[in-house]
């Protein structure tokens, strides 16, 4: 990736366009043609793009967890998988999940329908973004109302559990999304059991203390159109997710980077794998033993990238804090708070450009 730099003076001055005037970056790109300079309001913080920040040598050691081993009834196979899972959580806060049992053709249908959704005319995409508890939201960038720099992404977000909400267009999308969201929930449940065991807890500890069976699931479909100047902009800034575990899949086009030992690592997933990211609430329930992972999305100038991201969290009305058994020998690092209130914290923290976890961290 090229180092970020100011735009050479021979190039035309980039326009200043505020994302509040752009309802879709895809539509904006299509209206401009794909070689015009991007608006200066999309120039992300440039030092993030420095080559030195990206460590490709780490990419070879990205942990891979075999889900079939985790679900195995053979005690040794299961114990070894739990051990590897704990290691991935403590060393990386993220891993690739293979043999998860989610059919490849379901993911293909999901990607096809997701593309069709983003191709719909604006007026058919239902509702704008009216806040985190709105069941279905469509929007652009990251947090356009407050951010100083905008991001090269359009998104659909729907709350798919405990109630299933999803757009009715294009036809068949709801059904595919429902099937996918259910399967992701059951894979997540099994992963949470394994993670509990890896912490030396009973397998149902995290599930019970978060009331996961009534847990909140947020289904996000991100579209990143090709960007004529990908070295100047980002699809999503560095952030961590709000739930327990996020499961992410993409349309074969890379762009996700995770932060590891202070460097950005490109995540090049294996075919038909799920990318699993530890989120804020997992750091809380594990009392900081497993940290959430910072991640971001970079861009390219050739292909449209789509990522489907399911954030699986606790029940909204459950008060969440470190698992009680972990506090028998250690001090709590976080105070307990209702998950619903954590959402509000997250909004306020974004306004103040702070980490939401810092709001509940104890000294």
Ligand X SMILES: O=C(O)CCC(=O)C(=O)O
Name the maximum alpha-carbon separation found in the chain: 66
CB 217 within 8 Å of CB 186: no
CB 117 within 8 Å of CB 221: yes
Nearest to ligand X of 217, 222 (CB atom): 222
Neighbour-count burial of 306, counting CB atoms closer than 10 A to its CB (0-12 exposed, 13-18 middle, 19+ buried):
buried
Q: In what order do the strands lie in the sheet with 295-297?
A: 236-239, 295-297, 256-260, 263-266
Residues that contact ligand X, how many (by CB under 6 A):
11
| Cis-peptide into 280, omega within 30 deg | no
Neighbour-count burial of 74, counting CB atoms closer than 10 A to its CB (0-12 exposed, 13-18 middle, 19+ buried):
exposed
Q: If you count them, how many residues does the chain have?
A: 363
Residue 256 found at the interface with ligand X (CB under 6 A): yes
Q: Which of 181, 307, 312, 346 binds ligand X (CB under 6 A)?
A: 307
Residue 279 found at the interface with ligand X (CB under 6 A): no
Q: Which of 39, 255, 314, 322 binds ligand X (CB under 6 A)?
A: 255
CB of 247 to ligand X, least distance (A): 11
Site string for ligand X, 286-305 (x = CB under 6 A): ---------x-x--------
Give the β-pairing of 64-66 and 305-312. Answer: unpaired
Nearest to ligand X of 7, 55 (CB atom): 55
Residue 236 found at the interface with ligand X (CB under 6 A): yes
Nearest to ligand X of 81, 110 (CB atom): 110
Nearest to ligand X of 38, 236 (CB atom): 236
Residue 222 found at the interface with ligand X (CB under 6 A): yes
CB of 92 to ligand X, least distance (A): 16
User: Which residues fall within 8 angstroms of residue 200, CB to CB, at 6 or more apart?
Assistant: none
In the bound state, the residue with its beta carbon closest to ligand X is: 307
CB of 142 to ligand X, least distance (A): 9
Q: In what order do the strands lie in the sheet with 274-278?
A: 64-66, 94-98, 274-278, 245-250, 305-312, 217-224, 154-161, 136-140
CB of 309 to ligand X, least distance (A): 4
The secondary structure of 255-282 as a DSSP string is -EEEEETTEEEE--PPTT-EEEEE-HHH
Nearest to ligand X of 111, 309 (CB atom): 309
Residue 309 found at the interface with ligand X (CB under 6 A): yes
Q: Which of 353, 318, 321 is nearest to 336 (CA)?
A: 321
Residue 356 found at the interface with ligand X (CB under 6 A): no
Which residue stretch of 73-81, 107-115, 248-256, 326-334 sits at the interface with ligand X (rule: CB under 6 A)?
248-256
CB of 347 to ligand X, least distance (A): 15
CB of 141 to ligand X, least distance (A): 12
Rg (CA), the chain: 20
Q: Which DSSP symbol is given to 211?
A: T
Nearest to ligand X of 93, 255 (CB atom): 255
Residue 241 found at the interface with ligand X (CB under 6 A): yes
Residue 220 found at the interface with ligand X (CB under 6 A): yes
Question: What is the contact surface with ligand X in residues (CB under 6 A)?
Answer: 220, 222, 236, 241, 248, 255-256, 295, 297, 307, 309
């Amino acid at each position: 990736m090229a180092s970020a730099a100011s735009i050479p003076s021979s190039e035309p001055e980039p326009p200043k366009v505020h994302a509040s005037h752009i309802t879709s970056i895809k539509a904006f790109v299509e209206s401009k043609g794909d070689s015009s300079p991007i608006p200066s309001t999309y120039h992300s913080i440039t030092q993030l793009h420095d080559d030195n920040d990206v460590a490709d040598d780490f990419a070879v050691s990205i942990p891979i967890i075999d889900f079939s081993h985790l679900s195995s009834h053979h005690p040794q196979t299961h114990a070894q998988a739990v051990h590897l899972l704990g290691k991935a959580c403590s060393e990386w806060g993220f891993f690739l999940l293979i043999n998860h049992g989610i059919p490849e053709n379901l993911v293909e249908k999901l990607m096809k329908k997701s593309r069709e959704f983003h191709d719909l005319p604006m007026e058919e995409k239902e509702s704008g973004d009216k806040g985190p508890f709105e069941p279905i939201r469509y929007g652009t960038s990251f947090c356009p109302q407050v951010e100083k720099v905008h991001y090269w992404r359009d998104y659909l977000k729907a709350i798919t559990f405990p109630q299933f909400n999803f757009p009715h267009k294009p036809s068949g999308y709801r059904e595919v999304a429902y099937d996918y969201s259910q399967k992701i929930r059951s894979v997540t449940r099994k992963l949470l059991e394994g993670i509990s065991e890896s912490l030396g807890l009973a397998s149902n500890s995290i599930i019970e203390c978060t009331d996961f069976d009534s847990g909140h699931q947020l289904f996000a479909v991100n579209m990143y159109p090709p960007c004529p100047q990908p070295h100047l902009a980002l699809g999503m800034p560095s952030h961590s997710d709000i739930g327990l575990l996020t499961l992410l899949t993409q349309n074969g086009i890379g762009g996700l980077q995770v932060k590891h030992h202070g460097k950005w690592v490109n995540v090049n997933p294996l075919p038909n794998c799920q990318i699993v990211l530890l989120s804020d609430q997992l750091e809380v329930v594990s009392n900081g033993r497993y940290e959430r992972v910072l991640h971001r999305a970079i861009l390219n100038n050739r292909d449209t990238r789509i990522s489907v991201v399911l954030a699986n969290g606790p029940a909204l009305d459950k008060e969440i804090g470190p698992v009680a058994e972990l506090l028998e020998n250690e001090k709590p690092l976080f105070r307990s708070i209702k998950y619903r209130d954590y959402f509000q914290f997250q909004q306020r923290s974004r306004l103040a450009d702070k980490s939401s976890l810092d709001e509940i961290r104890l000294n």
